Amino acid sequence: MIAETFNNFLGGTAALFGDPMGVLIFFGGVVGGMLFGAIPGVSMLTLAAILLPFTAHLSAEHGIMLFSVIYCTGVYGGAITAILFNIPGAPENAPTAFDGYPMTLKGEAGKAVGAAVMCSAIGGTVSCIVMMLATAAIADWAISAFGPPEIFALVFFGLAVAASVGAKSFWKGWLSIMAGLMIAVIGLDPVGGIERYNFDMPYLAAGIHFIPTILGFFAVSEIFVQAEKKATGSFKAPKLSVDFPTFKELWMHKIAVIRSIFIGFFCGILPGIGATLAAFMGYNEAARWSKHRAEFGTGRIEGVISSETANNAATGAAMIPLLALGLPGGALTAMMVGVFQMHDMEPGPLVFINSPDLVWVVFAAMFFANLSILLVGFLEAKTIVNLLRIPFQYLAPMILCLATVGAYAVRGLTIDVIVMFVAGVAGFFLRRSGYSVAGIVLGLILGKIGEQTFAQAMQMLHFEFSGFLGRPIAFGLLIAGFITIFASVYGAFFKKKPQLTES
Amino acid sequence: MGKLSKGQLVEAAFWLVLVAIFFAYSFEFNNEIEIYKYGATLWPRTILVLIALAAIGQLLDQRKNGNVASSNTMAAAHEDSAQDTELNSLGWYFNTFILLSLPFIYMTLPDLLVKQMAIPEEGVAKLKIICAAVLLIAYLAIGWRNHVGAILALPIFFAALMQDMGFYALAPVFIIGIMILMGERRVSRMALIMPLLYGILLAFFVSLLYVGLPTGNISPFYEFGSWMVKTFQ
């Protein structure tokens, strides 16, 4: 099987690099994905949305390949803004900001970006290799073993674990996630299409879009926090550095890398879960097993490593349900379904039979896109780190204007811009009170998936909660989630706490 | 056993009041769904109950453990926590609340006046401009001594005016406003940076990517916005 895979891969590589137009599109996708991922206020999704109509003029092979390359490099590109400005380029980069941005404030931006470059490349490349070797077998297992009850249980477990990240306390973490889940409830109910919490406002009937909310909670609230520091005289300009981490420093965290590859790949393969939960779980597990757990969130390189390895490891895996079953795992893979449809094709098992060339060109392109993160990523990072030289009073209006354009461009509604700035103000006050904006965003994103899969699971199980007992994976994940919550509650009430000293 | 502070009590009350409001509103959509016996309310109500439990749990934890309350965790949010400054005083919160409400007054007041006073179509634009000017003066008067509140309110003001006055006319004023609030006082620098940022934005998004930004819908802002779009596209 390995020899056959290797031959197919060589065939795909030859087809990719033997075609000048293919090479041009490949490098355009690599640079475009990285740039759009790294520019504050826009993301790889913005680029993909702009390019989508133009793919009708490309061949199906080139169109799908372009999107898959943008996916790989865009996920990495988002880490740069997360590290430098606390603005995750995409939700999957949010955990990268937890430690990446404090590293920037400490003058270790170069180390954080370097770790992101290395680990994104490692996670993505390994994921691609496994994708090529095991697409069929893994798809068969995951799709048959993971129905709605298991996906709901996984969402529950992910949220339970995420409650312990980013906030000042377990309670605030849990309240942050619940607030995010409540925001996700606004709009139509996923089963009956009943309007909920629209308060007679037509805009709210469609729900609150996650892109303005994310921009508000991360980018805008960060500007407000820094503005408060300026007003109170506690503002410290981030220090500039381009000293990348040494091989020894990265080698010390090899276990975190391997663990994150497994987590990322496993989460990526599940439709609708993808890289976001992968990054959060990669980060959480790194924190859980680390000897320096209390230092997570203050600028540990391990936090950046685990999050970036996991989210890039999910990119290869996310192609499995897309190509094997036609199930998109996220916004970008959903756009890829659009590219297939523009060429009168349907992604699914038949693609492997009818268009094996397309599949292997895409696999080869993803493999080389991940490798190119190493080269182009380092060059790009060296340039973009210099953005930190810009004084904050000039950077702030630039970021706010970019965020305005980003929020407006989603649907062409000024109300989205208002929602973004209101979310920014809410994020500012919540952060002052020790709440986690990342928790709110995770709750918002996973809320809809959680409710939908819960409803499907209950219908499947004939509304009997005991039905979960007969599904070992779902049952195990639910138990693990409950244990995580009860351990935190027990710790809050019954564990002895060190008393704070005056110093 | 620690004593609860006023802030901790207000925080718990905030969550519980929010839960009560949302729970009461859930009866508005408590409709049956034929294929799903839990209806549209089970999920939000479960979340609300969990919010109430977490808020009470937090309060009990704070009562038991005082300043060292609660268990885990990683310290990401610690640095953001409010410092003991005048920015925590009741007066500051009240002042900021007034500033934040100004954009929402602009979003509702002109429409209300138009309905009440039966103002003709051609007078609506003038009314909106007068409302914006009055509220802007109020913003400057209140925000003069509250820089942080002014920074929080300015972007919402910018967004609220954008529908009527467009991005193109408002962005230069917004850029300068943020620079001043962030501490820039040198006119020469502002005169250099503002056109540079504005130009980069228009060149990249309008000329290169053809992003359609709001042009506004009242004269003379609409004409200016349309002229800018024609020029840059």
Residue B28's alpha-carbon distances to A186, A194, A385, B156, in angstroms, are: 13, 10, 51, 30
Q: Treating both helix axes as pointing N-terminal to C-terminal, what angle do A254-269 and A109-145 enclose, rounded to 10 degrees?
A: 40
d(CA B165, CA B149): 23
**Which one of B15, B64, B80 would you mutate to disrupt binding with A, by most A Cβ within 10 Å of its Cβ?**
B80
Element containing residue A162 per DSSP (H, E):
helix A148-162
DSSP letters, A385-454, are GGGGGS-HHHHHHHHHHHHHHHHHHHHS-HHHHHHHHHHHHHHHHHHHTT--HHHHHHHHHHHHHHHHHH
Does pLDDT of B133 surpass 70?
yes
Tell me, what DSSP letter sits at residue A467? G
Nearest CA in chain B to A173: B73
B 39-98: CB under 8 A from A: 39-40, 43-44, 47-48, 50-51, 54-55, 57-58, 60-61, 64-65, 67-83, 85, 87
Whether A436 and B77 lie within 8 Å, measured CB to CB: yes
d(CA B160, CA B135): 12
Nearest CA in chain A to B162: A414
Nearest CA in chain B to A451: B43
pLDDT of B74 reads 40
Q: Cα distance from B122 to chain A (closest Cα, Å)?
A: 23
d(CA B156, CA B139): 12
pLDDT of B190 reads 93
pLDDT of B56 reads 92
Q: What number of residues does chain B have? A: 233
Q: Give residue limits of the domains in chain A.
A: 2-500
On whether the CB atoms of residues A167 and A435 are closer than 8 A, the answer is yes
Whether A165 and B50 lie within 8 Å, measured CB to CB: no
Structure tokens at A422: 């209101």
pLDDT of B46 reads 94
Nearest CA in chain B to A105: B79
Tens of pLDDT, residue by residue over B84-117, are 555 667 888 889 999 999 999 999 888 888 888 8
pLDDT of A330 reads 67
Across chain A, what does the average pLDDT equal? 81
pLDDT of A355 reads 80
> Which H, E and C letters describe chain B, residue by residue?
CCCCCHHHHHHHHHHHHHHHHHHHHHHHHCCCECCECCCCCHHHHHHHHHHHHHHHHHHHHHHHHHHHCCCCCCCCCHHHCCCCCHHHCHHHHHHHHHHHHHHHHHHHHHHHHHHHHCCCHHHHHHHHHHHHHHHHHHHHHHHCCCHHHHHHHHHHHHHHHHHHHHHHHHHHHHHHHHHHHCCCCCHHHHHHHHHHHHHHHHHHHHHHCCCCCCCCCCCCHHHHHHHHHHHHC
> Which H, E and C letters describe A177-239, residue by residue?
HHHHHHHHHCEECCCCCCEECCCCCHHHHCCCCHHHHHHHHHHHHHHHHHHHHHHHCCCCCCC
Nearest CA in chain A to B175: A397
pLDDT band at B150 (very low <50, low <70, confident <90, very high): very high
d(CA A29, CA A47): 10
B 130-169: CB under 8 A from A: 147-148, 151-152, 155-156, 158-160, 162-163, 167
d(CA B127, CA B109): 10
Instruction: List the Cα angle B177/A217/A42 in 5-degree steps.
Output: 75
A497 CB neighbours in chain B (<8 A) are 65, 68
Q: Which of A166, A164, A238 is nearest to A430 (CA)?
A: A166
Q: Cα distance from A298 to chain B (closest Cα, Å)?
A: 6
Does pLDDT of B79 surpass 50?
no
Residue A215's alpha-carbon distances to A4, A221, A424, B23, B118, in angstroms, are: 45, 9, 8, 28, 39
**Which one of A83, A204, A217, A228 would you mutate to disrupt binding with B, by most B Cβ within 10 Å of its Cβ?**
A228
Q: Which residue has the higher pLDDT, B28 or B67?
A: B28
Residue segments in chain A with a per-residue pLDDT below the cut of 70: 1, 39-42, 46, 49-50, 53, 136, 138-140, 142-143, 164-167, 234-244, 270-274, 325, 327-331, 349, 384-385, 387-388, 495-503
B81 CB neighbours in chain A (<8 A) are 168, 431-434
* Lookup result for tokens 């921009």: A215
Nearest CA in chain A to B205: A405
pLDDT of A499 reads 46
ipTM topping 0.85: yes
Nearest to A498 among B47, B68, B81 (CB): B68
pLDDT of A42 reads 61
Element containing residue A85 per DSSP (H, E):
helix A60-85
pLDDT of B153 reads 94
Q: Does B114 touch chain A (CB under 8 A)?
A: no
pLDDT of A329 reads 64
Q: Cα distance from B46 to chain A (closest Cα, Å)?
A: 10
